[in-house]
């Protein structure tokens, strides 16, 4: 028998972590980086609406709380991302080696959660996307978030470069 892990469980998990470990006092410092993250997510959702490489699905009672991919993605962007950003940036280490370890740790956390969601059928992959690509994507995302806090324009250039690479690899159709 399979236990249904709800999308709402992930939301509650990250909010709880942020309440105990988040640096909410410096929220205003992290806000631009949060907006960068949300904007990237919203661009993915709108530009690739008909060519999603990953798609969230509601399981069990989540059909009533978070019924569609769009609602789940919105909850992630506006509930999970702020909760993560205050912990990720609020506790980012000073040394470069430890920053790299921190980025890898958060990438592994997101990979673990996505693996659970994947096994639970609350996320599905399309067009060649898989958990390997998700891990690489998470490494890039958390690296960009770490850079954005100090060098926003460098991050935008790197993000554009990464989007171009992903576009060339997955070759999605342009939106109409």
pLDDT tens by residue, 109-152: 999 999 998 998 889 999 999 999 999 999 999 999 999 989 99
d(CA 128, CA 31): 33
Comparing C-alpha atoms, which of 57, 54, 35 is closest to residue 148? 35
Tokens at 99, concatenated: 């920053």
Whether the per-residue pLDDT at 5 is higher than 90: the answer is no
d(CA 149, CA 132): 27
In a domain, 2, yes or no: no
Contact in structure between 114 and 134 (CB atoms under 8 Å) = yes
In a domain, 175, yes or no: no
Tokens at 77, concatenated: 């962007």
Q: Is 109 exposed, middle or buried (0-12, 13-18, 19+ CB in 10 A)?
A: middle
In a domain, 17, yes or no: yes
The helix (H) or strand (E) run that includes residue 125 is: strand 123-125
Model confidence pLDDT, tens digit, residues 151-166: 999 999 999 999 999 8
Total structural domains within the chain: 1
Q: Give the domain range for residue 105.
A: 7-170
Comparing C-alpha atoms, which of 70, 84, 102 is closest to residue 33? 84
Contact in structure between 81 and 34 (CB atoms under 8 Å) = yes
Tokens at 15, concatenated: 């909010």
In a domain, 56, yes or no: yes
In a domain, 176, yes or no: no
- Across the chain, mean pLDDT equals 90
Q: What is the pTM of this model?
A: 0.92
In a domain, 48, yes or no: yes
């Amino acid at each position: 028998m399979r236990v249904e892990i709800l999308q709402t469980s992930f939301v509650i998990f990250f909010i709880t972590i942020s309440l105990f470990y988040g640096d909410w006092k410096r929220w205003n410092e992290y806000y631009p980086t949060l907006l960068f993250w949300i904007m990237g997510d919203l661009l993915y959702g709108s530009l690739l609406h008909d060519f999603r490489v990953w798609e969230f699905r509601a399981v069990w009672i989540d059909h009533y709380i978070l019924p569609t991919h769009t609602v789940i993605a919105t909850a992630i962007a506006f509930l999970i991302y702020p909760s993560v950003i205050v912990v990720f940036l609020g506790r980012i280490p000073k040394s470069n080696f430890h920053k790299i370890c921190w980025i890898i740790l958060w990438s592994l956390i997101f990979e673990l959660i996505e693996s659970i969601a994947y096994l639970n059928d609350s996320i599905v992959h399309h067009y060649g996307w898989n958990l390997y690509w998700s891990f690489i994507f998470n490494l890039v995302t958390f690296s960009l978030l770490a850079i954005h806090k100090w060098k926003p324009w460098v991050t935008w250039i790197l993000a554009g470069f990464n989007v171009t690479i992903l576009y060339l690899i997955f070759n999605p159709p342009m939106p109409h």
